Structure 1
Amino acid sequence: MNNKSSIKNNNRIVRVRKVLTDKMVLSYGLPIALLILFHKPIEEMVSLAIVTPILSKVGSTATNNVIFWLVAAYILLLFFSRTVSFVASRKAFVLQLIICLIYLHYRIDQNIWVLHPLRGYIHLYYTDLILEITLLNALLLGKQSFLKKPVIKAANGFDDDRSLGKDRLDLLGYEPYVRSVASRIKQSRPETAIAIGINGRWGSGKTSFFDLLKRNMAEEPIIVINFDPWNSISPKAIIQDFFDTVQRGIRPYHSQLPALLDIYTDKLLNLHSEGWGKFAKELKSLVAPERSLNDLHEQINKEIKAIDRKIIIYIDDLDRLDKEEIAEVIRLIRNTASFSNTFFIVAYDRDYVLTAIKAMNAFNHNHFLEKIFQIEVNLPYFHPSVIQRKLADLLKAYYPEGYHEVIEKEIVGTAFAYPDYFQGWIETLRDVTRLSNGIKLNLDNLLTEVVFSEFIRLEIFRLKFPSVYEAFYRRSSAFLHIDDKHNGTEGYQLKKNDSNGAKPPTLTKAHTAFEAFLQQNASRLSVEEYEIPQIVALIDGLFGVNTLTARFRSHLSVVHPSRFELYFSYSMLEGKLSEDDFLKAINGTFAELKKQIDEWNKENLNFEVLRRFLQLKSFKDRHQFETVVEGIFYFARQPDNNSQYGFEHRQLAELLSDYKKRISKGFYDDRHEDYAAFLYRMFAGATSPYTFDATFLEHLNKSFDESISFPIPKPERLKMVLKLFYSYVSQFKAWDYQLWNLYHACSYKEWTPTGGGAYRSETIYPDEANQVMIATIAKHIDTFLPVIVDFPPFVDDRMFISGVIPTIFGSFDAFGDFLDKYDGPDSAVIAEFGQFYQELSKENFKNAVPFDFKTIKVSPRGQIT
């Protein structure tokens, strides 16, 4: 304990000595002391040189007053202009303050120098401008020091690569390893320098290792020297910069050693000097014989021992240098600066340094570093969980809390799922920083528009292989094709390599067009052979044939053609439905959703809206459920080129199903009748031509009752569709397809058990629908008859009467009776159709017959059946 206390006291004394020997203190303190000591002769010199011949000639005149006020105004304006975005120099202010104090001395005691006041202002002198300058600069510095600077929330900016510094936590688990290294340094006292290599990949935390080592050695009697060779502009400059740095570190501990190092440096730099440098060196040796390098080295060693403190020299980022610079640093460590009680702690990527050494001397280069470093510390391997935790924390600090669960799940994982796509890609903290910055920059406009895990995969791809990433996007049509059409959901998949002949069931070498492209263009794309399987595996995880089909992927997935571009454009594209806008719309009121649907309609986003509605499966409350259902009905009823958008009947039936009271219990307090009342209101709002509502009711009425569990019973549904049919019939003016659709929508199915859990269905058209149809035909006979003339497939010279006629009238004979009893005015259409009917009756209505229509216009295509 006493030993530690003594070391602390000694370190305090050294810090005081460093302040007293600081260049700033010496640069200003010594001149001031000399000025005070020799002020008399200096006064006389200034009087003879400046005051008497120049300043004494300046009189108090109106012209000089004007010049004074203009200069004073200029100084004041300059001050105001510097109050914003300007940093005043503290060194310049110290000089100004010294001059100001000297001036005040002579202003108060004017027996020495006579100062001239302004004309009319006996207490104000022309030279008082010195006071103005000093005062205003003092205010500027005060503003910089005392006014609060705006707080910038670091989490909202880019992440940096800073190391642990003096107080940040060790997230990498280096601390135990560092303590072991520090302990051995403390117990060593070498005669020549010991070099310790810290080997690790770029971004693996080598600088943080340095920081931890400095913390562990903070209380020791040591001299710490930080040397950054990559700041030097040449190999020769490395020598100069190195010994300049060492001199600054040693100066507080030894008076003669800095000078010795200076001589030693000059000697090293002049070893290969030519021309005038060589001549000057030889001339100097005639006057004062030079000491040899060995003599200087021994003398420096002796003086370093006298200091009795360990010298620890940290050299970071050796792997930033070129091969000549690396060789120069190694020469310093091994020979030139191999002093006693000195430790070199050097950080580098071993593979990079060996490659540089091999370029200079290939012989035995793999073992070269063994001659330089007495010990090589290989930084411990990061566990993937550390890397993923760091990335998650950086993103959670940036994104809103509502997104934290997604970040945690997709980056760190859960007890049931672990994201493994980071392994082999993101392995260092520098990788984490770069990936975090890329995500923050590119995801901001798409936070609710993409699948987070898929976006991260593509960001990793872009980060590691930008040229391949760009090629994949630009040539996507060559690598991807649309599949899963049979599932009703289209999605991109990797194309198989057609040139490969046989296509194995699992991914193998060049199995896909993308992998073949990589193998053929690896050199151009800066891809190593061993990296190709890693790239293919990442992309296969998104678009591979063995992944989930598009049907089971999120509606925001990159595999959907409508979303693909978003993942590469980093912003919403024109003509694409914004997920954020959609969610806001369904979480608002129906009036707001209705307005938004109209806007989407104008932007031709109908298919996008339909697809997104189809993907809704769950709701947070009754309000959202009813808003969405109202929105679906409103959307499906909208006209589009005399038709309707419609909706998927089966999926809507599943959405509205109250199977096991899942809707009435969840949203209507178990009041089934309240839920049914809501649906009655939906159908009551049907608008002409009623196609969507009628065909949806038809779907319900033909479905197996127990499979849909619809709140409105079947008899009521049949009445509703008949009402819609009658409403349309009462207002239409000419025969059209909508009337046929509504008539067929009135039909329903009866399900009869046949044993063994099987059922037989029978389609029934209600008598009420047939009677309405017959009455309508009677009113519009001339436009009805042409549309029931039909042609067999691929035949245009024979015709028959549509098979819907027996459904409406009961039989062809009953239809004939209807025509015979028809008491309307004489009509050429009825007459000609009667002749056609007679021809068909000869074939018992089983075969088509040729007939030359003169009045009725018929076509082989587009007939109603």
Structure 2
Amino acid sequence: MSKYYKITFLFTGLLILFYKPIKELYDDIIINPILSKIESNIAIDLIFIITVFFIIRKIYLNFINRSYISKHQWLFSIIVISFYCYIRFYQNYDFFGFTFFNSFKYFDVLLFYFLISPLNSILSAFYKKKIIIENTDHLFDDSPIKSENEDALDRNYKAQRISDEIFQSKTNEAIGFGITGEWGSGKTSFLNLLKREIDNKNSEKDFIIIDFNPWLNLGVESIIQDFFDTIQQSLRPYSEDVYREIKEYSNSLLNISKSNVADSLKDILGFSLKKNISSDFKSLNSLLKSLNKRIIIFIDDFDRLQSNEIFEILKLIRNTAGFDNFVYVVAFDKTYLNESLKNLNIPNPKSFSEKIFLKEEHLIPVTQSQIKEFIKATLISKIESKKEEIESYFGDNYSIFRTESNDIPLNHLRDAKRFLNSFVNDYLQIKDEVIFEDFFLLKLLKFKFYDIYILLFLHKDKFLNNRGQYYGNGGSRYHLKNRYENDNNSNFRIRFREYKNSTLGKFMLDQLNYNEENVLKVGKIMNTLFEINDYQRRNHLSIVFEKNYHKYFKDNLKIEDLSEVEFNTALSSDFETIKSKLEEWKNKKVLDLVKYRFYELNLDEIDSKEEYEKIVKAIFYFSNIEVTSSFYGFHFIGYDNTTLQNFLSNRDNKVSDKFYNNTQEFKNFILSILNNSKSPYLFESDFLNHVIDGNFNAEDFILSEDEIKELLTKYLRDYLNSSDELSNKVWVLFHNCKTITRELNAQHQRVDIYNYFDGVQELLIDFMKKDLDNFLLTFIEGMPFRGSSQYDNLVGVSHGIKNNIFGSFDAFEDWLNDINENDLAKPTLFKEEFLEFFVKCKGVNFNKVDFEFKFQPAIDKLKLLER
């Protein structure tokens, strides 16, 4: 019975028992001198009418909100109403009524207030909420298990053994059992199994089970108070004497702890109590023995406490509450416990804890095989229609779940449950548009390595490559980009042997500071998704095919933020209206969703040339919108190059025949868009480079190779003419002005050769005179982790000078020596020092050398490379 019931019954009983003297006192103090002098009038009528209005409003709101009415509210309301009715109709009081209706008394309004609870319950009975029969809840409960039937880890046998040991223990002092395990290893679930086993054996009621959770408290004193309050309430049914004695003992402890807690933490053996406390302990210990019962106290969430709180619990177990018939079962992470004791400067913390616990039972971490079987069984139970596909994926030979590889990125069942909660509902929304295997792996990546997932979502072209190969119904297929693809000595067909040598793997190591272990885990998923050579294994719905890629990320978009109606309405408007709408969507931060809406547009669903041209112009306008993200900072929203190329593809004249009189008319439209693009031309340059860089097919694209080269050269020339300083944009536009050919090298290997368009290198060389020192700075290359050893301090000259710009180091040296400083846009402060450095590198065949720069920007650049 709660304290509210107790208080209500106490005051009701006192009111009945002392009704007559209370009534006389009420008459003398309230009725005769005050209330008897009041007369009914319009002003009082108005006050009580307003009160009635607010009471009715309260009833209405409670009904609308389905407010919960507790049994105590019912009881209290009935008691008040009963007392009022008794006084109103059976006592000789003259109640004042409303002036317009005297039978309705002012105090009846107060009675009406206490009718709120009963009226709400009665009204709610006539309006029951519809119960949805179909179970659509696919969330997996992460609460601890409570029965043997839920024991997925087969630990109940161990719970039976420990319960036997507890029953058989016959020591004359308190016993401590430690249940140890890492976070998420299922300690709470194991405690529940152990309680169940003890309860099954406790037929003679010789044991009293008590649960204590110290994590609910806010400090040492609160823990002590709550501990003894919990013991006190649990043992009260067995002895009122024990109840009172525990109360006195805990009060004595708390009085001491207020002044001595800090001091006690300094001394390992600081368990000594004052003489009167020791006497109280012995007295209580003797009284507890007289119960003739063993008291088992389960303590969970022990390893969520602070160091001083953990120490206080250990003191309770070992001394201040170490009563002879007490058995403590405590679940904790042993490593965390030892670290906490170490933080308190306690020597040999491991040995110290072993003195507290007679036995420690370590829960073996969940195995990868158990995680696999748990996920498999859960998915089949929740997605029965895909049972065959799920069973096939989780076959014993599937590499991502081979137990000996130790590469599963889910470490325990809590991880598995949380992953399932994020996976199941997402998969059910799209299960017929994707294949289970790819979606599962991608969502594993999202769950454990979200930053890598978001890179694939927002910046696919930076890390995946589409070489234009065509594989039946699937279409062009994506691969992981090779980090060496831009080197003249590499070949796309010579794939990287290790994931860390892919562009994404290198980015993880150098930019995101991933450790080798996690790079390997991500690599296993990425290689399985994108690097399997057996193309026949890939279902036509696989993520590797460009037409499917974006489907796999739909769950990452808040569809409700941009309805289908809103998007289609905007698209049916004129181009200027679409531009305004795009700016509005930019402010609402839903451009990523807009991009995916564009990706889903189908050429077959477009009916006219005007509509097609409007959409194409909208895509180019959209792609050039400037946005800011937390990861990449300021950048253009961009667009998927392959998707756009397919949308503009005129293979078999499918666009020109449908919308135009001839191919030239279609070409003129595309040229008008590309020629009228605005500086810095980055999106258009990237797109055209994508078209011509290994993907070009005269039948696929409306522009010829020469026309594309001319446009790319124009973008570079126009930007260089309008700019005075070197920036990353210069390098992007320059490197986009090249094509790839494959040739045999001296070792008879096919390698990629990059051929820059005629005249573009001369454009860049001429532009170097505008900002020479910054160009020279870019030609300095340091070690990636400079400063870790003497060899990592070496610096060298970029081979891009030879490979990409001048054709040879000698040509560059001659050009630099021949520069007339009067031709430079601004004086050079670095040329002579750089030449000295260059000559030194030349003397060792352009390997890296030890060189101390004096030019401060060079020093700053190398400083950034240090660990």
TM-score interval, smaller chain: 0.5 to 0.7
Give the letter for the 1:140 counterpart.
N
Question: Which amino acid counterpart does residue 358 of structure 2 have in structure 1?
Answer: Q
Paired residues for 1:369-768 under 5 Å? 369-382=353-366, 384=368, 386-392=370-376, 394-395=378-379, 402-410=385-393, 413-414=394-395, 420=401, 424-440=408-424, 442-443=426-427, 446-470=430-454, 479-483=463-467, 485=469, 489-496=476-483, 507-508=497-498, 510-520=500-510, 525=513, 527=514, 529-544=516-531, 547-548=532-533, 553-561=538-546, 563-564=548-549, 566-568=551-553, 570-571=556-557, 638=658, 642=662
Read off the aligned partner of 2:160 and give its amino acid letter: R
| Cα separation, partners in 2 of 1:267 and 1:573, compared to 1, 3 Å | same
Residue identity opposite 2:343 in structure 1: A
Look up the equivalent residue of 1:208 and give its one-letter code: S
Cα-to-partner distance string for 1:618-650 (whole Å, 9 max, x where unaligned): xxxxxxxxxxxxxx9999974667359xxxxxx
For 1:243-258, what aligned pairs fall within 5 Å after superposition?
Answer: 243-258=228-243
Whole-Å separation in 1 of the counterparts to 2:374 and 2:599: 29
Larger Rg: 1
In the TM superposition, residue 105 of structure 1 has moved relative to its aligned partner by 2.0
**In structure 1, what is the equivalent of residue 215 of structure 2?**
230
Alignment check: 8 A CA contact 1:319 1:352 kept:
yes
Aligned counterparts of 2:126 and 2:153: Cα–Cα separation in 1: 38
2-structure distance, mates of 1:417, 1:578: 37
For 1:133, the equivalent position in structure 2 comes to 113
Question: Offset of 1:243 from its aligned partner?
Answer: 2.0
Q: Is contact 1:225–1:314 with CA below 8 Å preserved after alignment?
A: yes
Per-residue CA shift, 1:36-84, capped at 9, x if unaligned? 2222211211221222222323334555444444332331222112111
Separation (CA, whole Å) in 1 of partners of 2:364 and 2:186: 10
CA deviation string 1:5-44 (max 9, x = no partner): xxxxxxxxxxxxxx5xx53443222222222222221121
Superposed CA offset, 1:735-762 (max 9, x none):
xxxxxxxxxxxxxxxxxxxxxxxxxxxx
Aligned pair in 2 of structure 1 residues 642, 100: CA closer, same or farther (>3 Å)?
same
Aligned length: 581
Distance change (3 Å), C-alpha of 1:515 and 1:299: farther
Match of 2:191 among 210, 214, 217: 210
- Taking structure 1 as reference, are residues 301 and 274 closer, same or farther at Cα in structure 2, changes over 3 Å only? closer
**Aligned match of 1:57 in 24, 31, 37?**
37
Counterpart of 2:299, as a letter, is I
Q: State the percentage of identical aligned residues.
A: 27
Separation of aligned partners in 2, 1:324 and 1:199:
20
What is the CA deviation profile of residues 575-624 of structure 1, one whole-angstrom value per residue up to 9, with x for unaligned ones? 76999999xxxxxxxxxx97589899786799869989x9xxxxxxxxxx
SS in 1 for 2:297: strand
Equivalent residues of 1:178, 1:209 under 8 A apart: yes
Cα shift at 1:435: 0.7
**In the alignment, structure 1 residue 161 sits paired with structure 2 residue 142:** yes
Partner of 1:46: 26
Tell me which residue corresponds to 2:58. Answer: 78
CA–CA distance in structure 2, aligned partners of residues 186 and 177 of structure 1: 14
Q: Deviations over 1:239-281 (max 9, x none)?
A: 2222222222222222233333333333333335459x99xxx
Rate the CA distance shift 1:635–1:448 in 2: closer, same or farther, 3 A.
farther
Distance 1:168 1:122 in 2: 68
Which residue of structure 2 lines up, in the alignment, with residue 307 of structure 1?
Answer: 291
Cα 1:121–1:365 change in 2 (3 A) is same
SS of residue in 2 equivalent to 1:293: helix
Whole-Å separation in 2 of the counterparts to 1:317 and 1:641? 76
- What does residue 265 of structure 1 align with? 250
Gaps of 5+ in 2: 264-272, 558-591, 620-640, 665-698, 701-867
How far residue 512 of structure 1 moved from its aligned partner, in angstroms, is 3.8
- 1:321 is matched with 305
The alpha-carbon deviation at position 117 of structure 1 amounts to: 4.2
Residue in structure 2 matched with residue 178 of structure 1 by the alignment: 159
Deviates more, 1:487-496 or 1:291-300: 487-496
In the TM superposition, what whole-angstrom CA distance separates every residue of 1:777-827 from its partner, at most 9, and x where no partner exists? xxxxxxxxxxxxxxxxxxxxxxxxxxxxxxxxxxxxxxxxxxxxxxxxxxx
1:371 alignment partner AA: K
- The residue aligned with 2:715 is none
Q: What's the TM-score, normalizing by structure 1? A: 0.58
In 1, the alpha carbon distance for the partners of 2:507 and 2:79 equals: 73
SS of 1:225's equivalent? Answer: strand
1:198 matches 2:179: yes
**313-322 or 57-66, larger mean C-alpha shift:** 57-66
Number of the residue aligned with 1:359: 343
- Flag the 1:142–1:208 CA change in 2: closer, same or farther, 3 A: farther
CA distance in 2, matches of 1:502, 1:607: 24
Q: Does the residue aligned with 1:345 lie in a helix, a strand or coil? A: strand
The question of whether the paired residues in 1 share the 8 Å contact of 2:177 and 2:359 is answered with yes
RMSD: 4.7
Q: 1:141 to 1:573 in 2, by over 3 A?
A: closer
Preserved CA contact (<8 Å) 2:400 2:524: no
Question: For residues 133 and 384 of structure 1, do their structure 2 counterparts lie closer, same or farther at Cα, with a shift above 3 Å needed?
Answer: same
SS in 1 for 2:256: coil
